[in-house]
Amino acid sequence: MSLLMGLRRLPGRQLQMSARWRMYSSAKKHDTPVMEVLGSRYATDEWTNATPAILDKTGRNLLHQESHPLAILKNLIFREFPDFAYYDALNPVVTTYQNFDSLGFAKDHPGRARTDTYYVNESTLLRTHTSAHQRQLLEAGVAGDTHLLAQAKNRLAAPNNERFLVAADVYRRDEIDASHYPAFHQMEGVCTFTHDELRRAQAPELLNATQLTDSTVIGASNPVQAEHSAEDVALVAAHMKRTMNNM
């Protein structure tokens, strides 16, 4: 599980099919084949490498099977964050912008390669991490996107996505071994603060509640963002560590 905290500013012939995905090709010889995933259709191209075996793993909804270990663990973590909104049913098909560009991935980052990621087409893929939804959910809160906000559980605790958890299935082109599988699950947390909220969270009784033995290293590979002061960074880091260590 990862936790991010920061300061906020104010019709054709069917070829193959399963219960969750279908591939179509038109009767017209030169039309582009279309892939359907979870009810939505996408044009395919030379980037398409999502296989039937992988597509068939979408929509299994293991997180919603009450007695499944993943669902049990998800609910235990959700209960640790009662003032967060919860998302556990976001579509696994995202854009390359959501999955990479919005998070600052370099254009030549190896994670973008077709050998690492399952592409539906050049601009669309199966998410490789829950972070693909960070900007989407933050912007939904700012814009008041009622369609997306309505998907949240415990929405009233953070009606504008000031704080949220995302649990989801993710997909990577990993070789299967004892610790790797191409479909797995992640959970991610995001918490934003105003300056006043952040300083109120540093009350002495809270700071003394947990002893932090780890340290944060700030340097070239983990720089401070220009819009944040060193004090801001230290307060956010302390809050995040205390939150995780108190679980």
d(C-alpha 111, C-alpha 119), whole Å: 12
Predicted confidence (pLDDT) at residue 169 exceeds the cutoff of 60: yes
Q: What is the pLDDT of residue 72?
A: 98
The residues, ordered by sequence, that sit 6+ positions from 15 with a Cβ below 8 Å of its Cβ are: 23, 24, 25, 33
Of 32, 29, 28, whose CA–CA distance to 44 is shortest?
32
pLDDT for the residue 62? 97
Residues 6+ away with beta carbon under 8 Å from 198: 7, 232, 235, 236, 239
Token duo for residue 245: 């260590």
pLDDT at 15: 37
Radius of gyration over every alpha carbon of the chain, rounded to an integer in angstroms = 20
The whole-number average pLDDT for the span 212-228 is 76
Measured CA to CA, the distance from residue 114 to residue 185 in angstroms comes to 21
Question: Percent of the chain, pLDDT > 90?
Answer: 62
More confident residue, 177 or 166: 166
Name which of 241, 73, 79, 239 is nearest 157 in CA terms: 79
Greater confidence (164 vs 211) lies with 164
- Interatomic CA distance for residues 5 and 201, integer angstroms: 13
pLDDT confidence of residue 10: 43
Distances (CA, A) of 227 to 3, 9, 10, 72, 94: 20, 11, 14, 39, 29
Tokens of 240: 């995040």
Tens digits of residue pLDDT in 193-206: 887 887 777 665 55
Q: What is the mean pLDDT of the chain?
A: 85
> What are the pLDDT digits (tens) for 13-65?
333 444 455 655 544 555 779 999 999 999 999 999 999 999 999 999 999 99
What was the pLDDT predicted at 230?
79
Does 92 have pLDDT greater than 60? yes
Nearest CA among 43, 25, 181 for reference residue 119: 43
Percent residues over pLDDT 70 in the chain? 82
CA dihedral 210, 190, 81, 144 (to 10 degrees): 150
**What confidence score (pLDDT) does residue 213 get?**
66
- For the stretch 99-151, pLDDT in tens is 999 999 999 999 999 999 999 999 999 999 999 999 999 999 999 999 999 99
Contact in structure between 11 and 1 (CB atoms under 8 Å): no
Mean pLDDT to the nearest integer, 212-219 = 71
Average pLDDT over residues 214-219: 74
Q: Are strands 34-37 and 21-25 parallel, antiparallel or unpaired?
A: antiparallel
Look at residue 11 in the predicted model and tell me its pLDDT. 41
Are 158 and 82 in contact, with CB atoms under 8 Å apart? no
What does the alpha-carbon distance between residue 110 and residue 99 come to, in Å, rounded to a whole number? 13
CA distance between the termini of the chain: 12
